Amino acid sequence: MHEYDPKDFERRYGVSEAVVRSLIRAGHIHPESNAGSLSFSFQDLIVMRTATALRAAKIPTRAINRALRRIRSTLPEGLPLSGQSLSVMGHRIVLRDGEYYWESDSGQYALPLETAPRMAAPVKPAQKNAEPTPEALAEPHFAKAYELEEADPATAVTEYQAALAADPSHAEARINLGRMLHLRGGHLDAEAVYRGGGAHPLLLFNLAVLLEDLNRNAEAIAAYREALAIDPELTDAHFNLARLYELAGDPRAALRHLLAYRRAQS
């Protein structure tokens, strides 16, 4: 535990006393009081600095509170929040987990639009009547959809659908479309989108989240297990499986997956 006077935070960390008090009231941090000073755990400190960074990014307070509650609820007790890194994509709060981005509001994975410059391909002689590839036809729709997700979600959905019509193998469009449909309450449409993508680990993970929301826990377990069989690094699936097996009355399986999750975080 680390002991501070609340006024110290503004000087040391740029966290105002008002922010500290609001995080305590919201239940995000749990300091112990001692003669006017407060003792904070390491996880409390991480949460406070995270909240301050999100406020600086002009994320609305309600969204910050939702994100912090969701993040802490998905981590085993005692595991520091510093095991993950937070990012902001547009007005969405996401956790960075290796190459993946986990969206805090939905509990689903999303793939960000690639912004790094790519090496130019060698110029080939033009071919007469060359047909554009499905990927080339889909990419403008995907880029437009990604840019419009916040400002015009209905058009974004339409553009993701157009991307998939041009290239059904476009995994990024399928993941993001399924997530948007799920968040809008289109559960059956989202399920069809996820299942249409074949054996892709992020599609299977998001499908499992959707199945949980539909109380189809046995199917969710199967989807999480299939995602892990394809990508053992998708460790959040272990944590979710531990919870589902506990609900199903299988404590041995729950413990096995929780231990796998903890090993991956160490």
Does position 40 have pLDDT exceeding 50, yes or no?
yes
pTM of the complete model: 0.60
Residues 6+ apart with CB under 8 A from 143: 113
Q: Determine whether 197 is exposed, middle or buried from the number of CB atoms within 10 Å of its CB (0-12, 13-18, 19+).
A: buried
Enumerate the domain spans of the chain: 1-81
User: pLDDT tens digit string along 199-247?
Assistant: 888 899 999 999 998 999 999 999 999 999 998 888 888 988 998 999 9
- CA nearest 159: which of 171, 149, 145, 146? 145
Mean pLDDT of the chain: 76
CATH class (in words) of the domain with range 1-81: mainly alpha
179-189 per-position pLDDT tens digit: 999 988 999 99
Stated as kind and residue range, the H or E segment containing 20 is helix 17-25
